[in-house]
Structure 1
Amino acid sequence: MNANLPAAQTHETETKIEHFDVLIVGAGISGIDAAYHLGKNRPGSSFVILDAKPQIGGTWHTHTFPGIRSDSDLFTFGFSWKPWTGVPIASAAEILNYLEEAIEENDIGHKIRFNHQIEKAEWSSDTQSWTLSVRRDANAPPVTLTCGFLWMCAGYFRHSEGYTPDWPGTDTFRGQIVHPQNWPQDLDHTGKNVVVIGSGATAATIVPAMAAKAAHVTMVQRSPTYYYPRPMMDEFNVTLSALDLPDVWYHEIMRRKFLHESQITVQRSKTEPEVLAAELIGAARKYLGEDFDVDTHFTPSYRPWRQRIAMLPDGDMFVAIRAGKAEIVTDHIDSFTEVGLRLASGKLVVADIIVTATGLNLNMFGDIELVVDGETINPARCFTHRGIMFTGLPNFATVFGYLRASWTLRADLVSNYICRLLDHMDTDGASSVTPMLRDEDRDMQERPWIDPENFNAGYIMRSLDILPRQGDRQPWVMTQDYFQDRNDLPSADLDDGSLVFGRSKVQYT
C-alpha cells in the first residue's frame, strides 16, 4: 500500500492536500477497532479517522434516550484486545468511558478528526487513490483529502433521523412526539402519561426507564416480540468474580461463555424453534404471572431469531408491567388524536408524550457519493465480497456487523482481514484491489444482502432495495455467522481470482 504514494502531510499544512495510506470513516466502536489493528499490525501505514460528529462513540453518542444500554453483552460487544470487567449489560455512559480508555491506552486520539463530513469520494485508476471532498464547516467550502484505501466504519443507519411511519392525525396531537434517535435533552416526563410505540430493544429499554418517574407508561405494539430476561449477574459471574482472576482471563472466560450460549441459542432456533419459543414465552409468564395474557402480548407469530431477541436485564420491563407502572397493548394504530392514540379496536390511549420507537432508516456507506473513474456507483448493483468489499469498488471495505450477535465480533474479524489484505498487496507490489466476478460466478443466483427467510426485521426489509447483493457461493456470501467467519476469514484465499490486483486502469462490472 505504501508504494509510489505521497507521504502524509501534517494536519497543520493547509497549502498541500494531505494523503493517507488508509482513511477510516467513523470514530465509533468499529473505527476504533480498525485503528487499533492498523497500529498494531501495520505500524508503518499512515491513517486518519474522520467522524461527522463532535465526539467519539457513533451510536452511543447519537442515542441519548432514557435507560440507553447495550443489547449485547459487553464481553463480546467489547474489544477482544481490551478486557471488559463490568456487568454484562452496560449503559451508554459506561460504554463511552470504555471507548475513551481504549483510545487513550492505544494512543489513537491524535488520529481522530471530528466534525468532518465526507460528501463525495472519487477513485482514480490513474493515481490509484481516492479523493475525498470533506465538509468541516457548513459556511466554508469543503477541503480535499486523498487516501490509498477507504475503510468505512460508519455503521448502517442514518444518524440524523430515525424511521417514523406516516400515521393520520399526528399534527392534531397536543402533546409531544419524540423519536428515540432525536431525544430532547430537556424532556421531562415526570408524572406524565407516556405511550411508547414499538416493541423492539429500544422500546424494551425505554419502558422501564421512563416508568420510574412517569405517571404511567403504555407500550403499543402491532405484534408480539421475543424477549430474553436474564439476571444482570448470574451465579457463574459471581463465582468467577470471587476468584480474583487477572482481567484478561476473566474477560476471555466470560466472552467464551456468552459466545457458547449464543451459538446454542441460534442453533436451537433452527433445530427446535418450537421448544425455544416455549421457553422464552414461559420466561415471560413466570415474571408476569399466570393471570397475565401472555398469549396475546408475548407470543410472536414467527420463529425465534427471525428478528432480534431483546435482552431484559433482571427482567426489568416485565417487572415494571407486573408492578402496574407500565402496560402493554397489542393493536394497530388507527390515528393520532388530540389526546393520544385511537387504535383499530376503537380503544383510546391517552398520552402527554408519545415515543415513536419504530426503528431505523438504513443507509449504505454513510450516504457518501462514491465515484469510480467518473462513474457514480450504486451500492445496490454491487455484489459483496465476503460482506466486506464490493464489485466495482477498488481499495474499499466496510464493516457490517452481526444481526444476531455482537457487532464488534465481526468488526474484529474484518480488521484482521483488511490488514492481511494490505500486507498481501505490499508483498505483491500492488496498489489496488478490486473484487470482480469470475467467469464461473456469472451464472450464480443473485440474493438479497440479508435473506428474509433468515432474518426479517422491519428495518432490513424496508431497505433491501438500497443494499448490495450477495451470491450463492463464496466469496460472494454475507454469512451472518460468526462461528463460520472466524474460521473462514483468517484463511480466505486472496489469490482465488475474485480479487483483481494491479496498478493499471481496470474495467469494472
Structure 2
Amino acid sequence: MTTTTQERPTGTTTEHVDVLIVGAGISGIGAAHHLKERFPGRSFVILDALDARGGTWWTHRYPGVRSDSDLFTFGYRFKPWRGASIATSEEILSYLDEVIADDGLAERIRYRHRVTTASWSSAEHRWTVEGTREDTGESVRLTTDFLWMCQGYYDHDRPYRPQWPGLDRFGGAVVHPQQWPADLETTGKRVVVIGSGATAATLVPALADTAAHVTMLQRSPTFFFARPKTHELAETLRALDVPDDWTHEILRRAYIAEGDEITRMSFEQPDELRELLIESMRPQLPEGFDIDKHFNPSYRPWQQRLALLPDGDMFTAIREGKASVVTDTVDTFTETGIRTSSGEELAADVVVTATGFDLSVFGGVSFAVDGQPVDFPSRVTWRGLMISGVPNMAYVFGYFRASWTLRADLVSEFVCRLLARMQERGATTVVPTLRPQDADMPLRPWAVPENFNSGYVMRSADRMFKQGDREPWIHLREYAEERTALPALDLDDDSLVYR
C-alpha cells in the first residue's frame, strides 16, 4: 500500500500509513526490518525526535561508552555481528547503519519529529498522531492503523540527579553522563564519579587513562563481572574461516546459555552465585582490597543489574592506583570537592553524577482513546506487549537480565503475527480486554522489588502501568521462558477482543 495525504481545516497536512513506528533505535529499526520482510506491501514510517538513528547510542557521548551486553545477543538475530563481543557506541551505530542500508530504511525514517499526542478513534478505526518538527517548529500529523511504540524506556532529556547540599558552591565542573559536554577536559584532573552502575563502570577506566586520579563514590556496592572483550571461541571460529552467520549463531547460543545459567543461579542458588562473583573479583584487585565493603551488595545477585567489565578494565585501573573506590554518602559539596558522611574529604576538579535516569512512559506521549485520556498507572500490561483497553498498539520493553534485543526480536515477530491474524479475521481493531474473571484481580506494581529493584525502577514505579497476578497480565519474564512462550501465544485468546 502507499501512503495517502489529505488536508484538514487547520491547514496541516495529514498523512496516513498502515503502521507507525515511534523510535529509530535498536527496537524501531528491528521492528521496521521485520515489518518490511513480512508485509512488503504495507506502508510505514519511523518517527524519532533525535537528530539521527540509535537512541541511547546517539545521545550518550561520554568517554568509553560501550555495550553492557555481548553483541552476539544484543545484535539482531537476522544480522550477524562480526566484531568483538563488547562494542563501542560507534561500532553499534555502524551496525545499525548497515541494517538501514540493507533494508532501504533511510527513506522511511524521519528524524527531529517529536510525537506529543496519540488519539484513537473507534469510529475511524485508527490513530491520529501529532507532534512537532524539532528543527522548524512545524506541526506534524499522521494517521495510522497500528501504532508501534519503540521509543525506549527512559527520559533522554532529563537525567536523574539528586540535589546535594553545597552543590552551588563547588568550584569545579559537574556533569551528568547523559549530557556530556564535548569540550569537557579531564586530562590531569581529579575526577569523582558518583555512582557504581554500568555507566560508572564504563567511565572510571576510560577517564583513569589520562586523569590525575578517579574516585568512584558509591552509596552502596554493585556486583561487577569481568569478561573478555573478545570471546575465545570467536577467535577460534574466525581462525577456521567459519562463515560469519555460523559464528554469530554459535556465539549467540553460547552467550544465551551462560546468561540462562547465571539467571537460574540468581534465583535458585543466590549464595553460590554471590561467592562465585566475589571470588572472580578477588585476584584482579589489589591485595588487602576490602571486597565485602565495596563489591558485596546486600541484595541478591541480579536483583539489580550486574555491571560488566570488559577484560576487567576497572579492576586494572584500581590495581594500578589510577582509580579508587569510596563507599559512603555525600554529606555536602565543598568549594574543592565532596565531604562524605563519614567526614572524608574527596578533592575534585570534575564531578560526574552517574546517578542514572528515570523511566519514561511511552516517551511522554499523551494518549487518548475516544476522547478519554489514558491513565497508564491504572492500566494493566498484556504480557509486556500491549496495554489493557488501548487498541492497535504494541510496545517494546526488553529484558533486565538479558540483552534488550533478544526481546525486541520476539516482540517484532509477535506484532507481525498479530497483524496477520487481524487480516485473516477481517478485523480492523484488536484490544487487550480484562475478562469477567479478571474483574477483582489484584493489581501489582509494574516491577516487584523482590524480582528487580534498581533505583530507576523503584523511582518510576508510580508512573508506570500495572501487572496482575495471572496470565496474560504478567510481564518481565526471563528470556529462557519467553523464547518459546511468545512464539506460541494463542492470538485467539479471549483476552484479545477483535472487531
1:449, distance to aligned residue in structure 2 (A): 1.4
Q: 3-state SS of the aligned residue for 1:426?
A: helix
Name the residue aligned to 1:177.
Answer: 174
Further displaced range: 85-94 or 133-142: 133-142
1:304 matched residue in structure 2: 301
Q: Secondary structure at the match of 1:133?
A: strand
Where does 1:210-359 land on structure 2 (aligned, <5 Å)?
Answer: 210-359=207-356
Where does residue 483 of structure 1 map in the other structure?
A: 480
Q: Which residue of 2 aligns with 1:9?
A: 4
Match of 2:109 among 112, 120, 127: 112
Which residue number in structure 1 is paired with residue 373 of structure 2?
376
2:358 corresponds to: 361
Partner Cα distance (2:342, 2:56) in 1: 36
Q: Pick from 20, 23, 30 the counterpart of residue 20 of structure 2.
A: 23
2:191–2:348 CA contact under 8 A, matched in 1: yes
How big is the alpha-carbon RMSD for the aligned residues of Structure 1 and Structure 2?
A: 1.6
TM-score by length of 2: 0.97
Mapped to 1, the partners of 2:257 and 2:273 lie a distance apart of: 16
C-alpha distance in 2 between matches for 1:148 and 1:31? 17
Name the CA shift for 1:137/1:218 in 2 (closer, same or farther; >3 Å): closer
Q: 67, 70, 90: which one pairs with 1:73?
A: 70
What does the per-residue CA deviation read over 1:96-129, in whole Å, with 9 as the maximum and x for residues that have no partner?
0000011101111110000000111111111011
Distance (whole Å) between structure 2 residues aligned to residue 249 and residue 195 of structure 1: 44
**Cα distance per residue 1:390-448 (max 9 Å; x no partner):** 01211111100001100001100000000000100011111111111001122322111
After the TM superposition, list the runs of 4 or more consecutive aligned residues in structure 1 that deviate by more than 4 angstroms: 10-16
Shift of 1:9: 2.6
| Aligned residue number for residue 200 of structure 2 | 203
Which letter maps to 2:132?
Answer: R
- In structure 2, the residue matched to 1:412 is 409
Unmatched 5+ residue regions in structure 2?
none
**Are the equivalent residues in 2 in contact too, given 1:403–1:480 (CA < 8 A)?**
no
1:59 alignment counterpart: 56
How far has the Cα of 1:283 moved from its partner? 1.6
Q: Tell me, yes or no, if the aligned pair for 2:191 and 2:352 is still in contact at 8 Å.
A: yes
Q: Which stretch shifts more, 146-155 or 133-142?
A: 133-142
Specify whether residues 251 and 170 from structure 1 end up closer, same or farther in structure 2 by C-alpha distance, changes over 3 A only.
Answer: same
Indicate conservation of the 8 Å contact 2:224/2:308, yes or no: yes
- Partner SS state of residue 119, structure 2: strand
Q: 1: CA distance between counterparts of 2:6 and 2:335?
A: 54
1:506 counterpart residue number: none
CA distance in 2, matches of 1:96, 1:317: 24
Find the counterpart in structure 2 of residue 505 from structure 1: none
Larger mean CA deviation between 80-89 and 475-484 belongs to: 475-484
Task: Give the CA deviation at 1:138.
Answer: 6.4
**C-alpha displacement at 1:295, in angstroms?**
1.6
Q: Quote the sequence identity (%).
A: 55
Check conservation: 1:9, 1:16, Cα contact below 8 A. no
The residue number in structure 1 matching 2:154 is 157
> What SS class does the counterpart of residue 486 from structure 2 fall into?
helix
> 1:287-331: per-residue Cα shift (whole Å, max 9, x none)?
013311112111111110000001101100000001000000001
Give the number of equivalent residue pairs: 497
TM-score (norm 1): 0.95
> Contact 2:221–2:294 at 8 Å: present in 1 too?
yes
Q: Are 2:119 and 2:127, in contact at CA under 8 Å, matched by a contact in 1?
A: yes
SS at match of 2:487: helix
Deviation at 1:167, TM superposition (A): 0.8
Tell me, yes or no, if the aligned pair for 1:288 and 1:322 is still in contact at 8 Å: yes
**TM-superposed deviation, 1:488:** 1.2
Deviation (angstroms), 1:85: 1.2
Aligned to 1:127: 124
Equivalent of residue 168 in structure 1, options 160, 165, 169: 165
Q: Which residue of 2 aligns with 1:146?
A: 143
Residues 1:65 and 1:11: Cα distance change in structure 2 (over 3 Å):
farther
Q: Are 1:498 and 2:498 matched, yes or no?
A: no
Q: Which amino acid aligns with 1:230?
A: R
Q: CA deviation at 1:281?
A: 1.0
On the 8 A contact 1:177/1:356 being kept in 2, the answer is: yes
Q: Does structure 1 retain, via aligned residues, the 8 Å contact 2:172–2:336?
A: yes
> C-alpha separation between the residues in 2 aligned to 1:11 and 1:318?
60
- 5+ residue gaps, structure 1, are 503-509
Distance (Å, rounded) in 1 between the aligned partners of 2:95 and 2:328: 40
